[in-house]
């Protein structure tokens, strides 16, 4: 029975990671066809790093992911602080409103944002070309916000509410108190929120598809719109690299969380 359980676990993980393994192997395959391994090569990687067009698209995606994650983290952190200071009933109402975009189908979010941008563009700015980096950024910040708020809120709840009183008691203005006492308590939540926002933004296609303009195209949009043709193997190389970057980031995030949790535990024991 125990052995069966182990075998089952292996099967589950194989199922989860087999596609990645195929991609990984494919990225070193010397040949266009994935069904046949024609020998080991690094040529896909070489092609990738020489292909300035694809790299530019990747750079676009990273720029968008970083800027939208930073903005969402900034806005989301302050939003969380604001929500936390609300009274019980209003707070739970606001939290429900915050959570709805998380479960809203992406295509609905995408289409409605697109309609809004076109409406604002034509009606208020009198331009047909409103879609571009700005609209992408606004859209990404919008869908990233709830993730940041949700990862900062628990830190606020764990925090002793008297810390802010204590800071002011010792001479801090409310703003000083926030930066010197509250912010250090929120850091782990803020960082994990930012990382989550970054990864969500980096690979978003559905929402981006409806709000991008020709002036600024991201990598996922370009790839999806071109999948009818056969995918060049250089992308296998790129995806393999992306997978490992995300993997490292996720491991880092888990380490931070684990350290934070053991700290919390010690604190509970000490009190």
Partner 1 sequence: MSKELIRLVNCRMDFDGETVLDSINIYFNDSEFLTLLGPSGCGKTTTLRIIGGFLQPTSGDVFFDGVRINDVPPHKRRVNTVFQKYALFPHLNVYENIAFGLRIAKVPNKEIDERVTEMLEIVSLRGFEKRKPDQLSGGQQQRVAIARALVNRPKVLLLDEPLGALDLRLRKDMQNELKRIQQQLGITFIYVTHDQEEALAMSDTVVVMDKGRIQQIGTPEDIYNEPKNAFVADFIGESNILDGIMRADYVVEIFGRKFRCLDRGFEPNEPVDVVIRPEDVDIVPADSGHLCGTVTSVTFKGVHYDTIVDFKGFKWLIQTTDLHRPGEYIGIKLTPNDIHVMKKSAYSGMFGDYSSYSAEYDEINDPDAVIGGEETVEEALNNEE
Residues 224 and 35: beta-carbon distance below 8 Å: no
Is 171 an interacting residue with respect to partner 1 (CB under 8 A)?
yes
What is the closest distance, in whole angstroms, from the C-beta atom of residue 69 to partner 1 in the complex?
Answer: 24
Question: In which residue are the tokens 């069966």 written?
Answer: 4
Residues 215 and 224: their CA atoms lie apart, in Å, by: 17
Is 10 an interacting residue with respect to partner 1 (CB under 8 A)?
no
List the one residue from 172, 246, 249, 253 that touches partner 1 (CB under 8 A).
172
Is the CB of 50 or the CB of 267 nearer to partner 1? 267
The span of 40-48, 131-139, 157-165, 242-250 binding partner 1 (CB under 8 A) equals: 157-165
Residue 63 exposed, middle or buried by CB count within 10 Å (0-12, 13-18, 19+): middle
Is 52 an interacting residue with respect to partner 1 (CB under 8 A)?
no
Is 170 an interacting residue with respect to partner 1 (CB under 8 A)?
yes
Is 266 an interacting residue with respect to partner 1 (CB under 8 A)?
yes
Using alpha carbons only, give the angle 260, 99, 164 rounded to the nearest 5 degrees. 45
Residues 177-206, interacting with partner 1 (CB under 8 A)? 180-181, 184-185
Residue 231 CB coordination number (10 Å): 13
Is 169 an interacting residue with respect to partner 1 (CB under 8 A)?
yes
Is the CB of 41 or the CB of 257 nearer to partner 1? 257
Is the CB of 3 or the CB of 87 nearer to partner 1? 87
What is the closest distance, in whole angstroms, from the C-beta atom of residue 152 to partner 1 in the complex?
Answer: 16
Is 142 an interacting residue with respect to partner 1 (CB under 8 A)?
no
Residues 70 and 60: their CA atoms lie apart, in Å, by: 15
Residues 237 and 33: beta-carbon distance below 8 Å: no
What tokens were used for 180?
């010197």
DSSP bridge pairs for 74: none
The span of 129-137, 162-170, 217-225, 244-252 binding partner 1 (CB under 8 A) equals: 162-170
Is 270 an interacting residue with respect to partner 1 (CB under 8 A)?
yes
Question: In which residue are the tokens 């598809």 written?
Answer: 209
Residue 80 CB coordination number (10 Å): 26
Is the CB of 38 or the CB of 165 nearer to partner 1? 165
Question: Could you give the C-alpha distances from 24 to 10, 60, 227, 241, 267, in angstroms and in order?
Answer: 19, 24, 19, 9, 44
What is the closest distance, in whole angstroms, from the C-beta atom of residue 256 to partner 1 in the complex?
Answer: 14
Is the CB of 38 or the CB of 160 nearer to partner 1? 160
List the one residue from 23, 70, 138, 163 that touches partner 1 (CB under 8 A).
163
State the virtual CA torsion across 59, 64, 66, 68 in degrees, nearest 10. 180
Residues at the interface with partner 1 (CB under 8 A)? 160, 162-163, 165-173, 176, 180-181, 184-185, 263, 266-267, 269-271
């Amino acid at each position: 029975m125990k052995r069966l359980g182990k075998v089952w676990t292996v099967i589950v993980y194989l199922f989860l990671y087999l596609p990645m393994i195929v991609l990984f192997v494919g990225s070193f395959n010397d040949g266009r066809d994935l069904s046949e391994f024609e020998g080991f090569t690094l040529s896909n990687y070489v092609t990738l790093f020489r292909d300035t067009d694809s790299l530019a698209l990747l750079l676009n995606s990273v720029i968008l992911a970083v800027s939208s994650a930073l903005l969402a983290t900034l806005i989301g952190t302050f939003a969380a602080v604001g929500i936390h200071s609300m009274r019980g009933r209003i707070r739970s109402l606001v939290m429900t409103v915050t959570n709805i975009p998380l479960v809203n189908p992406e295509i609905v979010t995408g289409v409605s944002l697109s309609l809004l941008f076109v409406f604002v563009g034509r009606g208020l700015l009198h331009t047909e070309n409103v879609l571009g980096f700005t609209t992408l950024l606004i859209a990404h910040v919008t869908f990233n916000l709830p993730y940041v708020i949700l990862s900062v809120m628990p830190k606020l709840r764990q925090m002793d509410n008297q810390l802010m009183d204590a800071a002011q008691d010792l001479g801090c203005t409310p703003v000083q108190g926030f930066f010197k006492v509250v912010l250090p308590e929120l850091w782990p939540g803020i960082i994990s929120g930012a990382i989550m926002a970054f990864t969500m933004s980096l690979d978003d296609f559905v929402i981006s598809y409806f709000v991008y303009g020709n002036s600024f195209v991201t990598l996922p949009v370009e790839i999806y719109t071109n999948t009818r043709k056969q995918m060049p193997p250089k992308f296998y190389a790129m995806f393999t690299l992306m997978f490992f970057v995300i993997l490292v980031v996720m491991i880092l995030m888990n380490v931070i969380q684990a350290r934070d949790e053991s700290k919390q535990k010690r604190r509970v024991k000490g009190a």
